[in-house]
Amino acid sequence: MEIINEMRVMFLSKSENESFSRVAAASFISPLDPTVSELVEIKTAVSEAVSNAIIHGYDGTIGVVTLEMRILDTRTVEITVTDQGKGIPDIEKAKEPLFTTKPDEERAGMGFTVMETFMDSMEIDSAPDKGTRIMMKKSLTTDLT
C-alpha cells in the first residue's frame, strides 16, 4: 500500500495527553473528510489505546507514549500506539470484555472491545517489561481520488 501521509507524535504518559491524542488524530485525518461516525470511532479508538498505555502500561509512572498515523491508498487509516511500560502478560485475557486489572478504580474493562468494534482490524504486540504496541486500521468511506 502506498503511504499518502504520515505523522508521529510522542508525549508523556499524563492523563491530560489523552485528549491531545484525540485532537491530533482528528486533525490528521480531517483532509480525508471522514463522516462524523468515522471521526468519532477513530478518536475513541485512539483515546482507548492511549489511556491503556497511560493507566495500565505506565501504572502511575511517567513514560513516553507514541502515536503514529498513516494514510494509505487514499482511504485507509493506520494507527499505532506504543508504550515502553509494563506490557501485557496475557493478551487474550486482557481482550476479554469486562476484564480489568484495576477494578478498584472503576475501570469498565472494555477498552480492547471498543477498539475492535470501531476499527476494521486490531493487533496487539506486547511482552512483560517490554511495553505494548497496538496497531489498528480503518477504511473510510471517502476517497481522495
Residue recorded with cell 495527553: 17
**Cell digits of residue 65:** 507514549
- Catalytic, 48? Answer yes
Given 22, 38, 52, 133, the catalytic residue: 52
Given 68, 75, 107, 116, the catalytic residue: 107
Query: Rounded distance, CA 116 to CA 123, Å?
Result: 9
Query: Rounded distance, CA 24 to CA 82, Å?
Result: 15
- Catalytic, 75? Answer no
The span from the first CA to the last CA of the chain, in angstroms, equals: 15
- Catalytic, 17? Answer no
Query: Rounded distance, CA 120 to CA 140, Å?
Result: 10
Amino acid at 9: V
Given 18, 38, 41, 48, the catalytic residue: 48
| Residues carrying an active site annotation | 48, 52, 107
